[in-house]
Amino acid sequence: MPGNTPPPPPPPPVEPLAVISISNRIANFWTDQPRAWFVHAESTLLPQNTSDEVKYNVILSKLDKETITQITDLISSPPATGKYTALKNRLLQIYEESESRQLQKLIGEMELGDQKPSHLLRRMRQLAKDKVPDTTLMILWQNLLPSWVRGVLTVVEEKDLSKLAELADKMLETSRAAQVESVGASTSTAPPLSSDAAMIVAEIAKLNIRMTDLERSRPRFRHQGGRGRRDFRGRSGSRRSNSRRRNENNPNWLCHFHFRYRERATRCEEPCAWKKQGN
């Protein structure tokens, strides 16, 4: 009919050399992380305007023998249309863990090991799939960190989980660099501290010094304080008693020199009863 817009022409077929180039840029299938692998593969396939048949064949070329045996029925009788989508859904169905299994791994099977705290957090977020709130994920994640890192993270003002992970990375990097330096490793190539990491290390050092000073001073303070109070009361009582004796109207009044030095006094001032007392 007049005025109807003709359908767009189909995309030109991809040349065989171009298909080989596309295939070489895609890694072999990841059975442990199939969904992440399809994200990686489609980032190469989709911009090329490849046909359903080409995408299907490229994906097949990235499967190993064991994986092929799991989908023999599908590749023996593929659907007439939507072959790529059917293959993708079947692989995800076989190799992607159920949500309950992913939550089980998230709660009870994660550990930090040698990876960075930020890497651990990303893996945990993949398992959570937005079904676990950040407040809960933060608790699960922090429980897998070293105790001293948890202690610092609980007192910092930052509440964004991703930024906390970056902060934890810096703290562990600083700690590992310090450990290497402490054993005299001359080949250490630890990076210079950033301002954030240096601030954290400085604050931790200050806290450690304060705690050490408190632990050291507390026992001595109690012991010396008690003795000091007794000594102070004794001296105070003696002074009060001497003050009562040193009354000028008292016939036994002693001058300053004889009162203080007794027989060792070299001077005497009147009034003084030292000589009257027969000394």
- Which of 47, 69, 95 represents a domain boundary (last residue)? 95
| 133 and 120 belong to one structural domain | yes
Residue 271 included in any domain: yes
Contact indicator for 62, 23 with CB cutoff of 8 Å:
yes
pLDDT given at position 186: 45
- Which of 58, 79, 95 represents a domain boundary (last residue)? 95
* CA-wise closest residue to 66 among 37, 31, 24, 27: 31
| 217 and 267 belong to one structural domain | no
| 91 and 21 belong to one structural domain | yes
| 24 and 84 belong to one structural domain | yes
- Mean pLDDT lowest for which of 60-74, 157-171, 194-208? 194-208
- Most confident residue range from 49-58, 69-78, 109-118: 69-78
Residue 179 included in any domain: no
pLDDT given at position 4: 65
| 84 and 25 belong to one structural domain | yes
Tens-place pLDDT, residues 20-32 = 778 888 999 998 8
| 53 and 65 belong to one structural domain | yes
Residue 115 gets which letter from DSSP? S
| 88 and 26 belong to one structural domain | yes
Residue 142 included in any domain: yes
Tens-place pLDDT, residues 202-258 = 466 456 556 656 666 665 444 444 444 444 344 444 444 444 445 666 777 888 788
Residue 89 included in any domain: yes
Domain of residue 155, residue span: 99-165
Q: What is the mean pLDDT of residues 68-83?
A: 92
Residue 145 included in any domain: yes
| 77 and 105 belong to one structural domain | no
What's the rounded Cα separation, in Å, for the pair 167 and 172?
9
Q: What is the mean pLDDT of residues 158-182?
A: 78
Residue 191 included in any domain: no
| 276 and 252 belong to one structural domain | yes
Residue 37 included in any domain: yes
Q: Look at the chain and report how many structural domains it folds into.
A: 4
Residue 10 included in any domain: no
**Which structure tokens are listed for 38?**
């399809």
| 126 and 115 belong to one structural domain | yes
**HEC readout, 152-191:** HHCCCCCCCHHHHHHHHHHHHHHHHHHHHHHCCCCCCCCC
pLDDT given at position 237: 44
| 158 and 105 belong to one structural domain | yes
- Which of 75, 95, 115 represents a domain boundary (last residue)? 95
pLDDT given at position 59: 92
| 156 and 204 belong to one structural domain | no
